[in-house]
Amino acid sequence: MIGYSWVPITALFCYLFLFLTFLASKKKEKVIRSFMGLMLIMVLWVGGSFAMRMQLWPSVNFWHHVSVLGMILVPPGYYMFVMDFLAFQFTISSVCNEIFPFRYSFSLHSAIFAKQ
- The answer to whether residues 32 and 22 touch, using CB atoms and an 8 Å cutoff, is yes
Burial class (CB in 10 A: 0-12, 13-18, 19+), 39: buried
Between 87 and 37, residue with greater pLDDT: 37
Residue-wise pLDDT for 14-24, tens only, equals 999 999 999 99
> Which stretches within 55-102 are classed as H helix?
60-85, 92-99
Question: What pLDDT, on the 0 to 100 scale, is given for residue 98?
Answer: 63
Q: What is the pLDDT of residues 43-71, one digit of tens each?
A: 999 999 999 989 999 999 999 999 999 99
Predicted local distance difference test score (pLDDT) of residue 94: 65
Q: Quote the CA–CA distance of 41 and 69 in Å, as a whole number.
A: 9
- Domain ranges in the chain? 6-88
Confidence of residue 106 (pLDDT cuts 50, 70, 90): low
Give me the percent of the chain exceeding a pLDDT of 70: 75
Query: What are the residues whose beta carbons fall under 8 Å from the beta carbon of 70, sequence distance 6 or more?
Result: 41, 42, 43, 44, 45, 46, 47, 48
What's the half-sphere exposure (Cβ side, CA atoms, 13 Å) at 19? 15
Rounded to two decimals, the pTM is: 0.74
| Residue 11 pLDDT > 60 | yes
Give the residue-averaged pLDDT of 78-84: 90
